[in-house]
Structure 1
């Protein structure tokens, strides 16, 4: 024995349209008139769904096109920032001081990692490998600040 086919989306729309047509049926209205109203409602629902899917496709195409354009042309603000570093000569002392502070912190962490000094923050002991990672990060920040200060000449 074969199972009956599940109702298709069109059948579901027609059933819903017929239910709606019956709910607004007026006294004295024939079954044929109700069926015609249900057909009109079903056509309206199908047309609405087609329009909505077409709008969704257009929105998706527009979104993809904009994304493609954004990837193709780099941000103009990023290009400006690369072309003209935003450092004034007045900022040079602050950049040098920051680079020096980060350099000293990198040196302290490097010494701690090499000499195996213990460090604790509250009740927690800090592993020595963290100082190695911190030394690299701080040295990078220090170098970047010194390079930025040098470019602001």
Structure 2
């Protein structure tokens, strides 16, 4: 905030809102015969209590965050101690065995189906069209080979990798 900026800061706005809320609470619990000065003093006490509470909650949140980060570091240290040199195993250990393997098998099957379709269209002489565009035979065959390669790689990863 620059010196020429006449807008109050966020902290000032928050402090003012706390004071307004405290004054409302103090007025709501005002006793008969209580002076305005006494009500203002009660409101100041309530505002200080609210600020103290917020500071305590912030400190507790920081401590929880520190404890969570420390636990995470300890877990990562355990993982690296169990399998030194295998940083990529951290992700694999958290994933389920058949979740990743099933996804790879499904991807391999989809790419195999695409490869079969493009190879069949290339060898049978069927034109492959996307709207007004027709794919050349060599492009169809190239797509079939690329899809077959991806399919093979997915199946290889699914059955040769340890999860």
User: TM-score, normalization: structure 1?
Assistant: 0.53
Partner residue, 2:8: 6
Seen in structure 2, the aligned counterparts of structure 1 residues 4 and 68 have a Cα distance that, compared at 3 Å, is: same
Which consecutive segments of 4 or more residues in structure 1 shift more than 6 A?
Answer: none
1:25 partnered with 2:30: yes
Seen in structure 2, the aligned counterparts of structure 1 residues 119 and 10 have a Cα distance that, compared at 3 Å, is: same
Partner residue, 1:138: 151
| 1-structure distance, mates of 2:6, 2:143 | 67
* 2:57 corresponds to which of 52, 57, 76: 52
1:57-111: CA deviations, max 9, x gaps? 11221222233233333286x69x99xxx9xxxxxxxxxxx9xxx8xx69x75x9
Aligned length in residues = 121
Superposition map of 1:41-80 within 5 A: 41-74=46-79
Shift of 1:53: 0.7
- Tell me, which stretches of 5 or more residues in structure 2 are unaligned? 83-88, 98-104
User: TM-score, normalization: structure 2?
Assistant: 0.51
Shift of 1:147: 5.6
Higher RCO, 1 or 2 (CA under 8 Å, sep at least 6)? 1
1:112 partnered with 2:103: no
Larger Rg: 1
Partner residue, 1:89: none
